[in-house]
Structure 1
Amino acid sequence: MKILFDVAYLYYLPHFTPVLDELKAQGTELGIVFHSEPPATIKTQLASLAEIHIINEDDLVSFYITQNPDWIVFGHAAEIAEQLNSHCKTALILHGLGPKSTYYNASSSPIQYRFVESEHRTQTLQQLYPDKTFVTTGYTKLDPLVNGTSENIDLADKGLVPGKKTILYSPTFYPSTIEKFPKNWPEQFSDYNILIKPHYLSLIKSAYKKQRELFEHWKNYPNVYLASPEEQSLLPFMATADLMISETSSALFEFMALNKPVIVGHFLKLRVGYWGFLKYRLQKRLSDDYRLFKEIGTNINHYHELKEAVENNLRNPKLFEQQRLKYIEQIVGTVDGHCSKRVANFLLNN
C-alpha cells in the first residue's frame, strides 16, 4: 500500500509523524509532500521514514494522480480532494483541536474520511455532516508524550536553570497577546525559566514582522529560550513546562491533556476590523468550544494580572484539575498512546 501525507505547513508534521512511524513499522510505502522547501534538518530527520517530495501547489493534483497512491492524508480542508477522490481515497487529520470554527467547517471540504479525537466531537461532526465518514481515533500528536518517546528540553543546554519552575508562552499568530506584552516582561518573571514557542506563521509571514522583533528582543534575557523555526513540535516544550500561557488556542487543549495548569490571555491585539462593535467578527471565528476556556484555567483580561495568575497556579497546580479532567475526554479523547496506531490500522484495512 502507498500512502502520501500532504504537508502544506511544517506544523502539520507533529500530527503526521506518529502515524508515519506506525505505518513504516508495517512496511507501508510512504511519501511526504511539502508545498515548499523545508529546512534541511527536517528533511534529514524524515529521510529514513518516507520519500520526500517538494511540489508547487499548482502542480499538486497532477503529481498526486501520477503517483497513484492508495491514500492521501491532508492536514487541512483541501479542496483539491475533489479532483483526487476518483483516483484514491482521501483523509483528514486536522492540525489542531479548535476552538476556531474552522475546526468544524473543515469537514465541508470534499475529503472523504476524517479522523476525530473524541466520540463527543465525532457525534457533533456527524450531525453537521451526515453524509461524511468520521473515525474516532484520539489525538495522534500526543502519542509520543504518552509513550515517552518525546524528549524534554535540556534546560541547562539552553542556558536556563533546571531547578526553577518553567513557564511556556506559546502564543498563536492572530488574534494574539504578543504585542500586548511589555518589552521587559521576562525581567518581571526572572524567578522562572521562560520557553517561548511561537506559532510557525508568526515566524514566516511578513504581516507578523513586529511579533518577530519582540521575540528577538525577549530571547536576549538570560531566563528565556526562544524556539527556532526548525523546532516545529510543541511536545518537548509541553513536557518540560510547569505551566502554559496562551490565548484561546488549541495548544491549551493539548497542554490540558497533560493535566497541567493553563492561563488564558484575553488581552488581544485586534485588527481595525475587529474593534468595538465589530468584535462579533472575532466571535464568528470561534466555535462553541470557546466557552470551555473559561473553565479549564485562569482567564485574565490584562497583562498586569499575569504575575499573580502564574504564582497562584504554580502554588496550586490542582486549581482547575477537575474541570481539566472533565474536558480531556470530551475534546482530546482517549489519551493512551495508541491513537496513531488506530489511524494506521484504519488506513491499512480500508
Structure 2
Amino acid sequence: MKKVLFETHHLYYWPNFLPIVQELKRRNQYDIHVSIPKRSSCFEQNILMKVCNDIDIRFITANSEVQRIKNIFSEKYDIIIVGNIGKLNKIVRKGTKAIMVYHGIGLKQSYYNDMHDRIDLRAVESVSRYNKLKNTGCDNLVLTGFTKLDRLFTIPDGKIEKKKNMINLDQSKKTILYAPSYYPTSIEKVCPLLPDLNNDFNIIIKLHGFSWEKKKYYYQNALCNELDKANENIHLLKNYDYDIIPYYKMSDMLLTDLSSTMFEYLPINKPIIQVQCYTLKFMHKIFKNRFFRKIDYQRMLNVNFTYHIKDPSELLSRVYYAIDNIDEMSSQRINATEHYLYKLDGKASSRLIDAFED
C-alpha cells in the first residue's frame, strides 16, 4: 500500500480533503494518515483527531511542532497532500509526490501567489483558472473540479435533517446562510441588521475558522454569539462545526462578502447577496491600493451572479426581494457554475487520484 499524508494546515481545510480521503479508502490501496500543525491551542487538533478516529485513519501528532515534523519526515510518505505551501519543505522527502488542493477559490490573490516548485501536481477547480495558471508558466496542473463540492452529491439527506434538528430550525421559515470572510469582513455592518430578519427567517451564521482561531478576530465570534443568544431564529455554528456543505443544502439564500462561499454555493442555484461594505484596517483605508493588491480585482469585477450591496441600508429590502424572486438570476448562476466550477458530478476527487496514479 502507498502511504499518504493529508497535511491539514487548518481545520477548515479538512472539508476539501475529506472527499479525497473517502475515495482513497474506497480504492483500498492506500495507508492514509492525517496531521495538523501543533499550536498553543489544541482545539482544532482534538477535533480532527476525533474525526480521524471515527473513520479509522491514523492521526500524526507530537508534543511539539518540531517533533511532529520529525515524525512526519520519518514516515517516508509516498504522497503528501497540502492545502497551502505551509511546512512543505520540511516534511516532503526527495521521492515524495507533493500534491496541492488549494484551500480556497475566492477573490484573493493568494490563490496565485501560494506556489512552489516542489509541488508535483496541483488540482484546479475550473477551466478559466487552469488557463490562467497555465499562462503564468505552471505545468503541474490537473483539471479536477473542486473536491470540497463532491459531497454535495454524496451527503445523506438524513445527515442534513439531523443538522436542522440540532440547531432547531423553524421548518416554516426560509433559511439564510450568512458566511462572511474574516478580513475584509462585512460582520460589523451586517450583524446589527440581522435581528430585523429574525421574525421572518432562520439565519445560520457560519464564520471563517480564523474568526475563532486568531485573537485579533475573536470579536467576530463574540458579536455573533450575542446575536445567537438574543434572537430565537439566529443560529451561530460553533467552531467545532467546521463543515459548511450541509448548510448549503438546507439554505434558501447565501449572504456573504469576499468569501469563497459565493462560488461554492453556485451549484445550489439559489440567490446570493454579496455585501460590498467592509470594515478595513486603518492602513488599508489610507492606502487602498495595498488592499486591492491582495484581491483578484478582475475576478471580482466579473462576478455577475450576485446581488451587490454597497450600503448596509439596502440589505433588508434586497433579502426580501431575492427570496420573492428566487429564479431571477438563475441563468446567470447556471452560466457562472459552468465558468467557475469544472464538471459538477461528484468526481473531482476521483479525477485527482486518477491523475497521481497515472
Q: TM-score normalized by structure 1?
A: 0.93
1:326-349 CA distances to partner (integer Å, 9 max, x unpaired)?
1212212111011111122223x1
Match of 1:80 among 84, 88, 95: 88
Give 1:11-22 correspondences, 5 Å limit: 11-22=12-23
> 2:49: which partner in 1?
43
Structure 1 residues 63 and 127: CA distance shift in structure 2, 3 A:
farther
Moved more, 249-258 or 238-247: 249-258
**1:307 counterpart SS class:** helix
C-alpha separation in 1, matches of 2:90 and 2:52: 28
Q: Is the 8 A contact 1:65 1:87 kept in 2?
A: no
Q: Is the 8 A contact 1:246 1:264 kept in 2?
A: yes
> 1:216: which partner in 2?
225
Match of 2:144 among 110, 134, 137: 137
Letter in 1 for 2:49: K
> 2:318: which partner in 1?
309
C-alpha separation in 2, matches of 1:107 and 1:257: 28
Give 1:94-173 correspondences, 5 Å limit: 94-108=102-116, 110-130=118-138, 132-149=139-156, 151-152=159-160, 154-173=163-182
> 1:10: which partner in 2?
11
Letter in 2 for 1:257: P
Structure 1 residues 52 and 334: CA distance shift in structure 2, 3 A:
same
Q: Is the 8 A contact 1:117 1:139 kept in 2?
A: yes
Q: Which runs of 5+ in 1 are unaligned?
A: none
Give 1:1-350 correspondences, 5 Å limit: 1-27=2-28, 28-36=30-38, 37=42, 38=44, 40-47=46-53, 48-55=55-62, 56-59=64-67, 61-78=69-86, 80-81=88-89, 84=92, 86-108=94-116, 110-130=118-138, 132-149=139-156, 151-152=159-160, 154-183=163-192, 185-220=194-229, 221-276=231-286, 278-287=287-296, 288-293=298-303, 295-347=304-356, 349-350=357-358
Structure 1 residues 333 and 104: CA distance shift in structure 2, 3 A:
same
C-alpha separation in 2, matches of 1:184 and 1:258: 25
C-alpha separation in 1, matches of 2:299 and 2:56: 35
- Percent of aligned pairs with the same amino acid: 26
Letter in 2 for 1:33: S
**2:14 counterpart SS class:** helix
1:5-28 CA distances to partner (integer Å, 9 max, x unpaired)?
001100010000110011012221
Letter in 2 for 1:133: N
**Residue 59 of structure 1, CA deviation:** 4.4
C-alpha separation in 2, matches of 1:341 and 1:8: 22
C-alpha separation in 2, matches of 1:182 and 1:215: 7
C-alpha separation in 2, matches of 1:184 and 1:265: 12
**Residue 208 of structure 1, CA deviation:** 1.1
Q: Is the 8 A contact 1:78 1:111 kept in 2?
A: no
Letter in 2 for 1:317: I
**Residue 308 of structure 1, CA deviation:** 1.0
Q: Is the 8 A contact 2:73 2:91 kept in 1?
A: no
Letter in 1 for 2:131: Q
Structure 1 residues 299 and 86: CA distance shift in structure 2, 3 A:
same
Letter in 1 for 2:25: K
**1:299 counterpart SS class:** strand
Q: Is the 8 A contact 1:166 1:192 kept in 2?
A: yes
**1:32 counterpart SS class:** strand
Q: Is the 8 A contact 2:198 2:234 kept in 1?
A: no
C-alpha separation in 2, matches of 1:338 and 1:264: 29
**1:76 counterpart SS class:** coil
C-alpha separation in 2, matches of 1:308 and 1:228: 29
Q: Aligned-residue CA RMSD in angstroms?
A: 2.0
**1:199 counterpart SS class:** coil
Letter in 2 for 1:30: I
Letter in 1 for 2:218: K
Moved more, 179-188 or 265-274: 179-188
Letter in 1 for 2:32: L
**Residue 82 of structure 1, CA deviation:** 7.5
**Structure 1 segments (4+ residues) deviating >6 Å:** none
